[in-house]
Amino acid sequence: MKTTYQKPVLDLTATGAKIKSIMKLRGVSPRQVQIILNFPFVQTIYNWFSGKNMPSIDNLIVLSEILEVSINDLLVTNTVEIEI
């Protein structure tokens, strides 16, 4: 007998766009985030915006504090159905 589950999957592009939007709304620049997170290059933040990669859990915690939102408010997920 197969069971169907709903599995959340992170939407990298939509999450990056949401982070960018919230940063703009809060008046926080990519350069400011770079300095706070001690990144050598601001390109890291632009890679988030484009969905090329995502912040680590540690960086999501700091980002959520900077932007005054919950981590869940930064993430966009889609649901896929899987059968086991």
| Contact by Cβ (8 Å): 4, 80 | no
Maximum CA extent, the chain: 53
Angle, helices 12-26 vs 57-67, to 10°: value is 30
Would you identify the CATH topology of the domain 4-83?
Answer: 434 Repressor (Amino-terminal Domain) (1.10.260)
Q: What is the dihedral of CA 12, 47, 55, 11, to 10 degrees?
A: 0
Residue with tokens 């997170």: 37
Distance CA 35, CA 68 (A): 18
Question: What are the boundaries of each domain within the chain?
Answer: 4-83
Q: Which residues pair with 6 in a beta bridge?
A: 81
Distance CA 62, CA 23 (A): 13
pLDDT in tens, 27-80: 999 999 999 999 999 999 999 999 999 999 999 999 999 999 999 999 999 999
pLDDT in tens, 49-63: 999 999 999 999 999
